[in-house]
Chains A and B, each alone.
Chain A
Amino acid sequence: MATIEPSPTDLHILGVRHHGPGSARRVVKALQSISPSVVLIEAPSDVVDLAPLLVRADARPPIALLTYVEGDAERARVHPFAEFSPEYQAIKWAVAAGSEVRFIDVPAATSLALQDTNARPDAAPSAVARDPIGELARAAGYRDGESWWRDVIEEAADDSPRVFRWIGDAMTALRACAGTDPAHEQLREAYMRRAIAAARKEAAGPVAVVCGAWHAPALREGRPRSGDREILKGLPKVRTRATLAPWTSPRLALGSGYGAGVEAPAWNAHIWSQLCNADADQDATTSNARWLSKIAKALRERGYAATTDAVIEAVRLGHALAVMRDRPNPGFEELRDAAIACLCFGSEIRWREIEREVLIGDEVGRAPADAPLAPLLLDLERHQRKARLKPKAEGRELSLDLRTDSGLFRSTLLHRLRALDTPWGVLLDASGSRGTFRERWRLVWRPEMAVSLVENLVYGHTIEAAAAARLSAKMLDARSLLTLASLVRDALTAQAPKAAAVGVDRLERLAAQTSDCASMLETLPPISQIIRYGQARVVAAEPLNGLFHRLAAQAAIALPRAARDLEADAARAMWRIIVDADRAIELSAADARVRQAWRRALSDVAQTEKTTPLLAGAAARLVYESGDLDVGEIERLLSRALSPRRSRQDAAGFFEGFFTGSGARLVHDGALRRAADHWLCALDEPTLIECLPLMRRVFGGLDQVERRRLFDAVIENHSQAGEYRAADGADALWMERLPALQRLLSEGARK
């Protein structure tokens, strides 16, 4: 092996694509042929101690280097590595080969300090600086940089030295067009040049540098430039800590908010595994068949037919497409189009259903057992100090006033821990019936909670971030409106507005899809509770109000049909749900439009004969109480529902729905009383006796005085109306039977 770079023979700059499996394989091959005595990696120089831990057998990528300011885990930086990251493979090679590993980037102590000073850091590099190879690929019409790497770079240069020289040249050209880098990038490159120079002075053999392709031209001379000294003078520092955190493939993805993320981690992982096998059989067809089989498997798991035959056709179609598009091999796009045509029966919707699983995957990494203390625990300690709450094993009660800052802070902490499955505090009186400004907790700390807390590192490295991420993840899995609504409430109480927004958005989508009236109605009370809860916390209620309106309007449309043909148990369940939802709607600040639609739905329910009578009665009463029906109308409605033409059972159901809990109304409301009276008088004796338990249920809520007054009212009513004329000797008979009758009315039938 002669020269690799037009630079001194002992320095090899390997410009890579971060998380690019194609680069990773080239790096390993290059390292094997160079056999450097020192391998330099673009990573914070002060955490190099963690390098051997990173590649140890008990650690598993995806895994991240996590650095954070001591005592303030919110100020942190992460460097995630996947199995297919070139840096990871380089470290792995070096540790195995016994070469020295050095990290050469600006130390975390400095970059975190800088991150602090320029509040809006220009640290976010432009897209082209972050992933220049990906950008070149996109310019060439590839959605996926790895296919482009394979089609163009591997084709252009068939051995490692030439690949890296080619990349270096391409980047030099690209950088010439891109203009000057932001100050932050200049600092990093100056720092890396100095570190490279130092390594070359001390190294016994060749030196290899694994860095982002973008930096390759800036590092190639391997010694400080004039002006570097000036840039590197007087760098600020903070005290930092570092650890390894398990990472997940979704968080490697670009969409996760990780700036240097990749579009499709699972696709990269697939390419990497194919490259690893490549020496055995470097056959694009096999590789594509594997990828398409994976898609077929995902489809089968969802119950779609995806035959082996179809996989074969998809492979063939992929090849034909690649030929049409002048590509040497089918890549990402070709395989996607082929999968849609052959495996998804042309349906893009079906493809989208599996897209996330297929492209992103759900791998979870593992940190080695003796990685330094997890930042979540440190964050917890900091919060405990700030909240002045000590973890104690014996339980104690804590009452919080959410209007005070300290009360709110403590409550938020406890709620967040609850979201992290670390129930240090248990909320007493969780129904919230005691007003919205107070919370009572029971605190018990158990040592195993520390363990369960640390497991949340996968979600984030501060309690706040982890709680939000974990709640969001749960929301994405939730399938029922009610579960989602309670998760949104958890998110709001845990002061995680972003997670709450995720939940509200999911609720919105789910609400659009559901036609189950009961589940929509059930969701209304918790949502209205959350909106009212907003008084105690800073909650943006706007989206929730919209959601509440939407659900109420949708439920109103679905109600008349949902209230039909229910059997007894279902009707009772629905009864409760309707009454609760009605209260939520009446109490809420719902606009008149929604309220009106709801009442219209109720009166529809009340007046339709097909409605289950119990619900018709309940609805009639709700409309009546809201004042939308006048006495005349309600009387007509009652007399129709209770008319002898209806079956006794139906009438009894209606009666129960209407009068339960409102017996007192009968005392004051002559019209109602008359209607009830007519019905009762028309019953024959056996039926009346049958109905007595019902009467007892309905009027059981009345106290002695009320019963007495009702009784008087009924008697008076009859004598005034003159409709009934007493039979001969009736007076005597009446007085004689009266006590028994009263007893019967007040105690019910004993049968």
Chain B
Amino acid sequence: MTDALRLPAEQTHRSELDALKRTDDGPKPAGWALSPKAVLTYVMGGETPDGTEISVKYFGPTRFIETAIATLATDRALLLLGVPGTAKSWVSEHLAAAIAGDSTLVIQGTSGTDEAQIRYGWNYAQLLAHGPSKDALVPSPLFRAMETGKICRIEELTRMGSDVQDALITVLSEKMLPIPEIDGSLYASKGFNLIATANDRDKGVNDLSAALKRRFNVVALPLPETADQEVAIVAKRVAEMAVSLDLPSPKNIKTEIERVVRIFRELRNGETDDGKLALKTPSGALSTAEAIGVVIGGLSHAAYFSDGAFSAEAVSADLLGTIVKDPVRDKAVLEEYLELVLRTRPNDAPYYRALSDLV
């Protein structure tokens, strides 16, 4: 037993990985722990020839995962794009666990990430005592991944400054990291690769430079395909969070989730559910994660201010904030949606009223 709150994927799913390794007879790219097809089975679920069941890790179209694995097999870096809630980091962690047996070499991209965190830093005591040497280097996760031929994961690549991102260019194109201070360089061992995740529709991100962009193959993970799937995901997460936040779940929560998810989906997809009316899409991502946030906000409003009744008024402020990111353009988009769609649906009348009052 361990006290850790959460273990890396290769430990939680060790038995599955072991079973796959035992039975895997497919050709393995250099430095890979498993063959590409075994990696696919690990992510998409299935059964090994000896009957071990492999759990499903990703509920989505197989072809995205196939493209991701094939990318890594061709030595290209992989960029997973998607709005929040599309399981980018989840997929990246499991891929690294299955391919390299190690998913812990992670660099978290933030606006505060600097080049030292990507390449290497210095142990200043050593540096002052003995001058620059290999021993005085503090290797970054990327450094270690190159050394050991593993996969380095970079989370939220576009949150780093553009100049910091560009530190990756040499690593990706030359598979080499120069260390001018000791007049040396680090050559990546076979098996080294990079999986980055990024959110392409958020505000406040730094675009990838064209030079860096060219060095990635990009797989955009889609949002849940059907409304039912998305409602199920939202309902599940909301129920979990409600328990941990001690919020009671009102009876009508399921229908309200359906309504909120429908508004999200219609605006996001740029057409009504029945496909009859094309709509404009707002600039925000309107991700599943945000839908969960809106419903949770509504729940807490209901619990503390409206005697437990979940109402359109309770969520409308959150909804508005999620939809209208650009005060001019998005407002017009929402107004159109209200007039053209919600107004014509008697069941959505409370939402129409609540949102119209706020807009």
Contact = CB atoms under 8 A, between A and B. Distances in A.
B67 A508 contact: no
Q: How large is the interface on A (under 10, 10 to 19, 20 to 34, 35 or more residues)?
A: 35 or more
A337 B218 contact: no
Interface in A534-572: 550, 553-554, 556-558, 561
A187 interface: no
B262 interface: no
Given A317-B67, A557-B332, A512 B217 contact: no
A323 B210 contact: no
B69 A346 contact: no
A324 B37 contact: yes
B161 to A, nearest CB: 21
Interface in A363-393: none
A561 B328 CA distance: 10
A515 B280 contact: yes
Nearest to B69: A324
A334 to B, nearest CB: 9
Interface string A317-346: 101110111000000010001101110011
B81 interface: yes
Contacts of B329: 515
Contacts of A340: 67
A341 B73 CA distance: 14
A316 interface: yes
A13 to B, nearest CB: 38
Contact of B340 (A316, A348, A554): A554
A342 B220 contact: no
A317 B213 contact: no
B278 A511 contact: yes
Interface stretch (A303-311, A521-529, A632-640): A303-311
Nearest to B27: A323
Interface in A272-305: 305
A345 B210 CA distance: 11
Contacts of B222: 348
Interface in A497-511: 508-509, 511
B84 to A, nearest CB: 16
Given A508-B278, A593-B343, A324 B70 contact: yes
A347 interface: yes
Given A317-B74, A317-B76, A512 B220 contact: no
Nearest to A512: B278
Given A508-B277, A512-B280, A345 B73 contact: no
B256 interface: no
A704 interface: no
B63 interface: yes
Nearest to B37: A324
Contacts of A313: 74, 76, 217
A556 B336 CA distance: 9
A557 B278 contact: no
A698 interface: no
Contacts of B210: 305
A553 B81 CA distance: 36
Interface in B69-83: 69-71, 73-74, 76, 79, 81
A354 interface: no
Contact of A512 (B70, B74, B214, B270): B270
A593 B213 CA distance: 49
Given A317-B71, A347-B220, A512-B278, A550 B340 contact: yes
Interface in B37-63: 37, 40, 63
B10 to A, nearest CB: 22
B335 interface: yes
B324 interface: no
A595 to B, nearest CB: 13
B217 A342 contact: yes
Q: Which of B73, B74, B340 has the most CB of A within 10 A?
A: B74
A78 interface: no
Interface string B279-310: 11000000000000000000000000000000
B266 to A, nearest CB: 12
Given A317-B71, A325-B66, A597-B339, A558 B217 contact: no
B217 A341 contact: yes
Interface string A138-178: 00000000000000000000000000000000000000000
A333 B69 CA distance: 16
Interface in B173-220: 210, 213-214, 217-220
Contact of A346 (B40, B218, B271, B340): B218
B81 A346 contact: yes
A644 B81 CA distance: 59
A309 B214 contact: yes
A233 B189 CA distance: 79
A707 to B, nearest CB: 45
A431 interface: no
B70 A558 contact: no
A180 interface: no
A346 B219 contact: yes
A388 B329 CA distance: 57
B224 interface: no
A593 B70 CA distance: 55
A553 B280 contact: no
B63 A337 contact: yes
B44 to A, nearest CB: 12
A345 B218 contact: yes
A320 B76 CA distance: 11
B36 interface: yes
A513 B328 CA distance: 16
A305 B214 CA distance: 10
Contacts of B271: 512
Contacts of A509: 278
Given A346-B220, A554-B336, 5 more contacts: A316-B74, A319-B74, A323-B36, A342-B218, A513-B278
Closest 10 CB pairs of A and B: A346-B218, A512-B278, A320-B70, A346-B220, A341-B217, A321-B70, A316-B74, A509-B278, A557-B335, A320-B74
6 contacts: A316-B74, A337-B63, A512-B277, A550-B277, A553-B336, A557-B335
Interface of B: 36-37, 40, 63, 66-67, 69-71, 73-74, 76, 79, 81, 210, 213-214, 217-220, 222, 270-271, 277-280, 328-329, 332, 335-336, 339-340, 343
